[in-house]
Amino acid sequence: MSQLILGVHSGSHDAAAALFDDYELKAAVSLERLTRNKGDGAYPDLAIDEVLSIAGLTRKDVDVVCHSRTLMPTRYFRNLSGYQWLKEQYRSLLRGKPRRQMMPEIFRHGSPDAERFYDSAALLRDKGFRDGTASFFYNHHEAHALPALFYSPDWDDALLVTADGGGDNVHYSHRHFANGTLTDIYGGEDTILTPAVEDSLGKMYGAATKALGFRRVRHEGKVTGLAAMGQPVRAAELAAKFSVDANGRIHSTLASDREINAFMQSLLKGLSREDYAATVQQVLEDTMRVSFERLLARHPAKHVGLSGGVFANVKLNRLLAETFGLDEIFVFPAMGDDGLPVGGALAWLLRRDGLPTWLQNRRDLGPVYLGRDFTATVDAALAAIPNVRRTAEDPVAGSVQRLEAGQLGAIYTGRMEYGPRALGNRTILANPSRRETHDLLNERLSRSEFMPFAPVATAERAGDVFDITNVNRRACRYMTIATDVRPDWRKRIAAVVHVDHSARPQVIERADNPLYHDIISGFERATGLAALVNTSFNVHEEPIVNTPAECARALTDGRIDFVATDKALYVRG
């Protein structure tokens, strides 16, 4: 009998929910898309109700709820007394922080079993789930790791690596899949009660982001973009703080968050921001390369699956793809903590059914359009907005003509994307032929990007423009890897080419998104250019748009010049 499984992540950032009908992923939504608070980490009640509503269900229909062991509502912790109870009352009532980290209680009780100190039955009852709904607390890094394997049905081996700022007491995990067996090498349940150590390249990169004046856990991509413009002049000094042992595990002499932040701040002195970023990026790449070299020597595999916030770094992912003679590399598209609910549900299914059955149910991930579908209502909603006008143009032909003329346009179609990348349903498009397009987009969208905006090309033509191979092709489907731009195209699509001749392309199949594909194809017929600029449909520091009203606001505010839907094209006036 199948189960309705709800995956939930409630953390300090990137809260989300995902709904499975047994092994079928029905919906997944980040909380930020609903609250409009970038990176929102509150308990994701809105996201829970959204994914259930998308499937036509309610909380009473859910069979299993899977939570991460992070920030959870305080009132359901058992055995808080005395000073600890008073402290939590103060945090909840006076400071407005009604959630508490689970890790201190895990150490206090000497067990990773959250049910020993947390009344999940009472939580689920108060949240409106029916009596008897099962509760499961999943391992952070296992939840990061499993989707890359599950959504790779053809893999007969894999090295699964996760890396981030931390979860369940570690910052990395390593798993090996071979001969039908999945083995925890490091970072599983056996490490939860070990003494905590600071060894995180993710925290180092985050501290560098903060030192440069950007927001940690949000603007690391700006550091990646700056890196190609500088020289790693102090890489040796930073590299001396990290080492890799014979097992591929990364270690650091920076023993605390305070030490990491202080050292990264001191490293900046006397450096340009470009040279500082290049230093940080070089050490990240060099350290990870050594780690993977040693891991693969001990645990051979032709396939590598990656997840965790560190692998949002597309330059690092490219290095790994091009260094080790792999058959394929795959980065789960929601590589940050917003992807944990999917992995948490998969972890439940693995325990419920065992590995052989779990493996038999593997499947292609698909285009990750997993939010609500407003197709039936968007045209009426846009037509009802004052100062928005429906033109007589065909949406494809009109978009092509306007893009050729240098206008900025958006596509609003189908279900919203899951994960940080815009992949064609909530996407802004622009002409890539002029470098000034970069400045125009930054000005109109209130952004300050140092990396060129990403390109999109059709599956039929992408390999002619970018260095697409069997190793990186699937990663390019989700814009999770950088590639080289072929020499003949670098000047022709200047707006999407970085100073190191790289780009972060998306490759789109027509079956995944006909409107998107047809606009790109039509633009090539009109201009000879086989790519367009694709950037997320949002203003700087706002989440990607979700509803038709948010789409209309971008148009009326002058952020874009037109919006294309499946049925029509809309402009201001």
pLDDT at 320 > cutoff 90: yes
pLDDT, mean over the chain: 96
Mean pLDDT of 444-465: 89
The three-class DSSP label of residue 451 is coil
H-only helix segments in 436-536? 436-445, 462-465, 473-477, 514-527
3-state SS, 195-229, equals CCCCCCHHHHHHHHHHHCCCCCCCCHHHHHHHHCC
Mean pLDDT of 342-355: 98
Q: What b/e string do you get for 450-487 counting C-beta neighbours within 10 Å, with b at 16 or more? A: bbbbbbbbbbbbbeebbbbeebbbbbbbbbbbbbbbee
pLDDT at 276 > cutoff 70: yes
| Structure-block tokens of residue 352 | 């419920």
Contact (Cβ atoms closer than 8 angstroms) between residue 165 and residue 208: no
Q: Given pLDDT bands bounded at 50, 70 and 90, which one contains residue 449?
A: low
Which residue is it, tokens 């091009």?
322
pLDDT, residue 199, reads 97
Share of the chain above pLDDT 90, in %: 92
Mean pLDDT of 49-67: 98
pLDDT at 89 > cutoff 70: yes
What DSSP element (H or E) covers 149?
A: helix 140-150
pLDDT, residue 270, reads 96
Mean pLDDT of 299-320: 98
Q: How distant is the alpha carbon of residue 231 from its chain centre?
A: 28
Mean pLDDT of 77-102: 83
| pLDDT tens digit sequence for 356-383 | 999 999 999 999 999 999 999 999 999 9
Which residue is it, tokens 């009473």?
60
Nearest Cα neighbor of 228 from 272, 269, 273, 274 is 274
Q: Given pLDDT bands bounded at 50, 70 and 90, which one contains residue 293?
A: very high
The C-alpha atoms of residue 436 and residue 450 are separated, in whole angstroms, by 13
pLDDT at 42 > cutoff 70: yes
pLDDT, residue 301, reads 98
Mean pLDDT of 103-116: 94
pLDDT at 1 > cutoff 80: no
pLDDT, residue 219, reads 92
